[in-house]
A and B are shown apart, each in its own frame.
Chain A
Amino acid sequence: MVYVFPGTLPLSIESPGAGPAPATEISLDVCEEILDNGLRLLMDPDPKSPTVSFMTFVDAGARDELKPGTTGLAHVFEHMMFRGTKRFPNYDETLAPLGPELNASTSQDMTTYYVNVPSSALEKVIDVESDRFQNMTFTNETFRMELGTVREERRRSHVDSPTGTLYSRLYELAYQVHPYHHPVIGWEEDLEKNMTYEDGLEFYRTYYSPKRTVLVVSGGFDVSWLRDQVREHYDAWKRQPEPDLEVPREPPQKEERRDCIIWKDDQVTPKMMVGYHGPEMSLDAPDYCVLDVISQLLFMRSQRLAKRLYTDLQLVESISGWITGSKDPNLFIIYASLKKGGTTAKVLEIVDEELERLRGEKVSERELVKAKNALAASMLYSLDRPYAVARSLGFHQIAGGDYRLLMRIEARYQTITRADVQNVAQRIFRAANRTVVELLPKSSAQST
């Protein structure tokens, strides 16, 4: 499975338009432990929970695929991790009696593994998970077989998917130097021809190291018991030398980049993605939080672009926008799926008008409060189970360098002013800083 994590989730609630009120807070009593080998353990106990989520975050994603011919390797390796070890040769069958939800995902920055089980089964999960991360074995045969599965996944999520194709092309154009240029699932020729079994082994030895691993456990367990269990099972894991690779920085974009994809059928409706270079997810990059607020100002149902394009003019079947939280500077993306027969030029014109409005005048206080409320409420609505909490903590630890960012970003939201919004809009939403990719039905080729 491959997906991009959503933006950050804040922690407190501001009162609605009725006036000021005390904040509502969810308390996350996270305990942190770092083993001598560098492995980091984050624990969020909830004694009342009948379930527990055991997540392993590896600080290795598509961003780390710097060796030529290896695009998609982090994701392929995610698949390999389910191929068993000497001690537990059939991973799935070993855990099956526990009734787990288990899977993994790979993104630009990280690879994430989860096993959700009833709390009583946690001990077995620790035993199996610690074994597979330290003692993974695989053969060339299983590596080639898994590449076949990954190529089928690529067909579904990219080759036959208009949205996947559009998204990949946007990053390919927007990033010329940085590895965000290539899709997480990799280029077809690398999966088909270039990637080798030895590449897989090297990737495992380099990146699957305790120093690059974060365990996050949320739900029903006892902290001291868990701490002892993790020490017992992970202490012997030897730290690997840090890879001597430097991820190249993307130079500032100096002019607008554009492309148009003609899709292979006429069932598809016109689509468009616009990507503006933005910041990384960090409190040192305050624009990140402001862009999160801007996404609400533009794309909540009753707010500017969504209201105009979806509700009033009915030019789009859907429109959304977001800033991707990541280690390195990423894109603020606007995605519009148009109604059949719609023209992307008209939609882009209105997008430009609304972005210019953000640049030219301050938003109202009422709009700003609404946007902040939405961000705050979305966290309370979404962190409703141990898996969601663990996922969010681990994500902030890897992408932002500190799980506490989850709470701090919320505090930052509350300080954002109307002037902040205008200032960030003026710096980010410039034509020279953006990439525009359209995707049109097959018959458009004849009419253009």
Chain B
Amino acid sequence: MAASRPSSAPEARSGTHTGPEKETPEFISVPGTGVPVIHFRLLIRAGAAEDPPGREGLASFTAKLLRRGTRSLDRDCFDDALDQIAAVLETRVQREYTVIQGITLKRNLDEFYRILVDMLLEPRFDPRELEKLKADQIDAVEAVRQSDEALGREVFFQEMFRDHPYGHLSVGSLSSIRSITPEDVRNFHAEHYVRAKLIVGLAGAIEPELEERLRGDLEKMPAGKMERSPRTEAELSGRRVVLVEKEGRTQTHLRIGHPIPVTRAHADYTALMLANTQLGRHRNSMGRLYQAVREQRGLSYGAYSYIGHFLGTPGPTTSSPPDLARGNQAFHMWIYPRSENAAFVLKLAIREMEELKRAGVPDDRFDDVRDFTRNSFAFDIETPARRLAMELDDRIYGVRDFARRFPDEVSKITRAEVNGAAARHLRPQDLLIVAVVPDAGKLKGQILSEDAPLIYPSGVDATPLAPDDAQVRAVKLDVDPGSIKILKANDLFR
């Protein structure tokens, strides 16, 4: 495997494929396994990154208004029609694209199809619904502020991608939400909901006629062009700390990381994924981070690391759910210890990251790490819906057949390649550290003084760990006082 050279065309350096202009949308079909259910997954290749300045949240508004009625069905009738056939039809906005997702029983396909196509071709964009939607979008901002986990994650990515199209909440800010007009929505829809930006995915109990029928109806959409706003790489030099103060917390949610140029389109992706398995895959207890923080010390329920955007979902998955493809990605760690231990756990996380960069995956662990990464991939493509989502993400990254190639690539990879990728792409010297804390001044003082108090669970004999704890305390945070920013949770996203 090559070194750090991206494997795809130059535009894939930022991870997003900009294909040639085309007259008809691309269709991807994944047949099912006999269950009489059909999945639709349509991608419009325009997401929150296309929000105009001052109109942050516009992509999200447009997608959600689609779901609030058509020319022939007002919102109430639209909801009723879907509930009557027990179908699911939702829209979501990601950074690079908008997802229109539908699930229907095969027996109800005709009814569902009519609603879906009506929504795509004849949206209502009712101004009264736009005003109501503003209140709901403000709720979405409040929801981020209520959840410590979401707050830490969103501030992390917002700070990471300052001055970048990713640098705002996808639902917008309180002020931008209030400023959006019906004309903004119509203009966004006219520009982006076009055939050139559309990819259509079908999975489950599908017949060939469905694709033909949909292809014919979608011809009524404008042709349009595949264009998008320019992207730059996020930059981070040195260590920067953002403390988000929120009163009354007993835990501190830590998010630590930096931008990486590696996406699924990059030659180092597979190698870096193995390195991340060694460090701390989501909900996987074999990671070093998890072992050091939770198993050996009992300091946090979770301790994970990621090489891309990740949203936890209920259930057992250790892998990234679909719909999170982004052209610009980040390496990050997420841990939530009790607040008294935050400075120590921060040092511990950095120590584990530095160790991975320095020594790589130990020889006696490599086979396990490789086998886990290869075998667990079966769950990423376990259902037709997941296989479809995987293929659609391929299109966003500008790669082909990832699901088919990946297990073979993992089987053939060498320890040197994995360790080389970790050494090239992990940058513990350049870190953005975001912490949601009850007392920002206290943690700031500990960071600047390199003080790292540690309280073990009651009844635990800490003596055997004392030498290692001393090594952790010796890790230098080396944060300049001018590189620490304190924010109040209540002041965010305004």
Q: Which of A97, A101, A148 contacts B299 (CB 8 A)?
A: A148
Determine whether B318 belongs to the interface, using a CB cutoff of 8 Å to chain A.
Answer: yes
Q: A267 to B105, alpha carbons, bound, how many Å?
A: 40
- Assess whether B142 is in contact with A147, with CB atoms less than 8 Å apart: no
The segment out of B84-92, B157-165, B389-397, B439-447 that lies at the interface is B84-92
Determine whether A16 belongs to the interface, using a CB cutoff of 8 Å to chain B.
Answer: yes
- Assess whether B249 is in contact with A160, with CB atoms less than 8 Å apart: yes
Check A116/B379 contact, CB under 8 A, given A380-B105, A387-B316. yes
| Shortest distance from the beta carbon of A70 to any chain B beta carbon, whole Å | 16
Determine whether B186 belongs to the interface, using a CB cutoff of 8 Å to chain A.
Answer: no
| Shortest distance from the beta carbon of B77 to any chain A beta carbon, whole Å | 9
Q: Interface code B272-307, partner A: CB below 8 Å = 1, 0 otherwise?
A: 000000000001011000000010011111000000
The segment out of B259-267, B422-430, B456-464 that lies at the interface is B456-464
- Assess whether A302 is in contact with B76, with CB atoms less than 8 Å apart: yes
Check A373/B85 contact, CB under 8 A, given A98-B375, A99-B375, A147-B459. yes
Determine whether B314 belongs to the interface, using a CB cutoff of 8 Å to chain A.
Answer: yes
Q: A102 to B286, alpha carbons, bound, how many Å?
A: 11
Determine whether B235 belongs to the interface, using a CB cutoff of 8 Å to chain A.
Answer: no
Q: Which of A21, A48, A374 contacts B107 (CB 8 A)?
A: A21
Q: Which of A99, A151, A317, A373 contacts B142 (CB 8 A)?
A: A317
- Assess whether B372 is in contact with A99, with CB atoms less than 8 Å apart: yes
- Assess whether A92 is in contact with B286, with CB atoms less than 8 Å apart: yes
Q: Which of B75, B136, B145, B301 contacts A153 (CB 8 A)?
A: B301
Interface positions of B from 444 to 494, Cβ below 8 Å from A: 456-461, 489-490
Q: A303 to B368, alpha carbons, bound, how many Å?
A: 51
Q: Which B residue's beta carbon lies closest to that of A14?
A: B86
What residues on A are CB-neighbors of B286 within 8 Å? 92-93, 96
- Assess whether B76 is in contact with A155, with CB atoms less than 8 Å apart: no
What residues on B are CB-neighbors of A148 within 8 Å? 297-299, 456-458, 460
Q: Which B residue's beta carbon lies closest to that of A159?
A: B250
Determine whether B80 belongs to the interface, using a CB cutoff of 8 Å to chain A.
Answer: yes
Interface positions of A from 15 to 39, Cβ below 8 Å from B: 15-18, 21, 24, 26
- Assess whether A265 is in contact with B248, with CB atoms less than 8 Å apart: yes
Determine whether A50 belongs to the interface, using a CB cutoff of 8 Å to chain B.
Answer: yes
Q: Which of A101, A151, A162, A263 contacts B379 (CB 8 A)?
A: A101
Check A160/B88 contact, CB under 8 A, given A266-B490, A302-B79, A385-B382. no
Determine whether A307 belongs to the interface, using a CB cutoff of 8 Å to chain B.
Answer: yes
Q: Interface code B357-389, partner A: CB below 8 Å = 1, 0 otherwise?
A: 000000000011101111111110011010000
Determine whether B117 belongs to the interface, using a CB cutoff of 8 Å to chain A.
Answer: no
- Assess whether A97 is in contact with B371, with CB atoms less than 8 Å apart: yes
Q: Which A residue's beta carbon lies closest to that of B75?
A: A311
- Assess whether B36 is in contact with A380, with CB atoms less than 8 Å apart: yes
Interface positions of A from 130 to 171, Cβ below 8 Å from B: 140-141, 144-149, 151-153, 155-156, 159-160, 162
Q: Which of A26, A96, A144 contacts B368 (CB 8 A)?
A: A96
Determine whether A305 belongs to the interface, using a CB cutoff of 8 Å to chain B.
Answer: no
| Shortest distance from the beta carbon of A377 to any chain B beta carbon, whole Å | 3
Q: Which of A97, A140, A144 contacts B457 (CB 8 A)?
A: A144
Determine whether B412 belongs to the interface, using a CB cutoff of 8 Å to chain A.
Answer: no
- Assess whether B80 is in contact with A302, with CB atoms less than 8 Å apart: yes
Q: A306 to B15, alpha carbons, bound, how many Å?
A: 41
Q: A141 to B456, alpha carbons, bound, how many Å?
A: 12
| Shortest distance from the beta carbon of B38 to any chain A beta carbon, whole Å | 11
Determine whether A381 belongs to the interface, using a CB cutoff of 8 Å to chain B.
Answer: yes
Q: Which of A93, A159, A384 contacts B35 (CB 8 A)?
A: A384
| Shortest distance from the beta carbon of B110 to any chain A beta carbon, whole Å | 9
Q: Which of B301, B316, B382 contacts A114 (CB 8 A)?
A: B316
Total interface residues on B, CB under 8 Å, equals 76
Q: A412 to B340, alpha carbons, bound, how many Å?
A: 53
What residues on B are CB-neighbors of A265 within 8 Å? 246-248, 489
What residues on A are CB-neighbors of B136 within 8 Å? 314, 317
Determine whether A339 belongs to the interface, using a CB cutoff of 8 Å to chain B.
Answer: yes
Q: A97 to B374, alpha carbons, bound, how many Å?
A: 9
- Assess whether A48 is in contact with B301, with CB atoms less than 8 Å apart: no
| Shortest distance from the beta carbon of B253 to any chain A beta carbon, whole Å | 9
| Shortest distance from the beta carbon of B104 to any chain A beta carbon, whole Å | 9
Determine whether A424 belongs to the interface, using a CB cutoff of 8 Å to chain B.
Answer: no
| Shortest distance from the beta carbon of A163 to any chain B beta carbon, whole Å | 9
What residues on A are CB-neighbors of B298 within 8 Å? 145-149, 152
Determine whether A173 belongs to the interface, using a CB cutoff of 8 Å to chain B.
Answer: no
What residues on A are CB-neighbors of B36 within 8 Å? 24, 380
What residues on A are CB-neighbors of B367 within 8 Å? 97
Q: Interface code A354-370, partner B: CB below 8 Å = 1, 0 otherwise?
A: 00000000000010001
| Shortest distance from the beta carbon of B302 to any chain A beta carbon, whole Å | 8
Interface positions of A from 327 to 380, Cβ below 8 Å from B: 339-340, 366, 370, 373-374, 376-378, 380
| Shortest distance from the beta carbon of A380 to any chain B beta carbon, whole Å | 6
Q: Which B residue's beta carbon lies closest to that of A219?
A: B382
| Shortest distance from the beta carbon of A390 to any chain B beta carbon, whole Å | 11
Determine whether B33 belongs to the interface, using a CB cutoff of 8 Å to chain A.
Answer: yes
What residues on A are CB-neighbors of B382 within 8 Å? 50-51, 385
Q: Which B residue's beta carbon lies closest to that of A317?
A: B139
Interface positions of A from 36 to 63, Cβ below 8 Å from B: 48, 50-51
- Assess whether B301 is in contact with A152, with CB atoms less than 8 Å apart: yes
Determine whether A81 belongs to the interface, using a CB cutoff of 8 Å to chain B.
Answer: no
What residues on B are CB-neighbors of A156 within 8 Å? 251, 301, 336
- Assess whether B376 is in contact with A101, with CB atoms less than 8 Å apart: yes
- Assess whether B35 is in contact with A311, with CB atoms less than 8 Å apart: no
| Shortest distance from the beta carbon of A241 to any chain B beta carbon, whole Å | 31
- Assess whether B132 is in contact with A314, with CB atoms less than 8 Å apart: yes
- Assess whether A97 is in contact with B375, with CB atoms less than 8 Å apart: yes
| Shortest distance from the beta carbon of B484 to any chain A beta carbon, whole Å | 22
Considering residues B86, B285, B338, B458, which has the most beta carbons from chain A within 10 angstroms of its beta carbon?
Answer: B86
| Shortest distance from the beta carbon of B108 to any chain A beta carbon, whole Å | 6
| Shortest distance from the beta carbon of B148 to any chain A beta carbon, whole Å | 6
- Assess whether B372 is in contact with A152, with CB atoms less than 8 Å apart: no
Determine whether A407 belongs to the interface, using a CB cutoff of 8 Å to chain B.
Answer: no
- Assess whether B247 is in contact with A264, with CB atoms less than 8 Å apart: yes
Q: A24 to B35, alpha carbons, bound, how many Å?
A: 10
Interface positions of A from 160 to 195, Cβ below 8 Å from B: 160, 162, 192-193
Determine whether B83 belongs to the interface, using a CB cutoff of 8 Å to chain A.
Answer: yes
- Assess whether A267 is in contact with B379, with CB atoms less than 8 Å apart: no
Q: A156 to B195, alpha carbons, bound, how many Å?
A: 45
Determine whether B21 belongs to the interface, using a CB cutoff of 8 Å to chain A.
Answer: no
The 4 closest A-B pairs by CB, nearest first: A148-B457, A99-B375, A264-B248, A148-B298
A-B contact pairs, 8 of them (CB 8 A): A51-B378, A101-B317, A118-B378, A147-B298, A149-B457, A153-B301, A317-B136, A378-B86
Known: A24-B36, A92-B286, A384-B383. 4 other contacts (CB 8 A): A16-B108, A51-B378, A148-B460, A267-B246
